[in-house]
Amino acid sequence: MLQRVSEACVRIDGETVGAIDRGLLVLFCAEEGDTDENVSFFARKIALMRIFADEDGKMNRSVVDVGGAVLAVSQFTLAAQWRKGNRPGFSAAADPVEGERLYDLLCAALRDQGLPVETGRFGANMQVGLTNDGPITIVMDSNDA
């Protein structure tokens, strides 16, 4: 999932470990079956998705075009299976070793697209703060790719 933000940060135990001004907050969840190719595809789409306003106020510019940055935060709870019962299940999430590998790959691929990338810490209890600009929130799922 990505959100267009005017600012975003992630804190762990009260310490800011990543922060950006204008750009994108990317909440990343690797699911069972996700591949390196999925991650590369997402990185290209994230970098080039035209969701920033041009001089006419139309969403025609990408985060690259506006000189923005990315704050990438791992969030396995996006894989929640919630329809049955009242406690969500997370068995669709990739195992932690593979999830961290794919998260690191995404961050590297975004940097390869020329983007400054700040991160959270995989597996940590994080507090994420953001000012959603728009609001613009886009759900990206590898099943839709």
Domain range list for the chain: 2-144
* pLDDT at 141 (0 to 100): 83
> Measured between alpha carbons, how far is 21 from 6 in angstroms, rounded to an integer?
6
Is 75 catalytic? The answer is yes
* pLDDT at 80 (0 to 100): 87
Beta bridge partners of 128: 10
Is 131 catalytic? The answer is no
Out of 3, 52, 76, 119, which one is annotated catalytic? 76
Out of 35, 77, 81, 127, which one is annotated catalytic? 77
Q: Which of the four CATH numbers 3.40.50.2300, 3.40.50.1000, 3.65.10.10, 3.50.80.10 does domain 2-144 have?
A: 3.50.80.10
Beta bridge partners of 27: 73
Predicted model pTM: 0.93
* pLDDT at 112 (0 to 100): 97
Is 77 catalytic? The answer is yes
* pLDDT at 145 (0 to 100): 54
Cα-based torsion angle of the residue sequence 104, 10, 32, 143 in order, rounded to the nearest 10 degrees: -100
Mean pLDDT, consecutive 10-residue segments, the chain of 145 residues?
A: 97 98 97 94 97 96 98 92 89 93 98 97 96 94 70
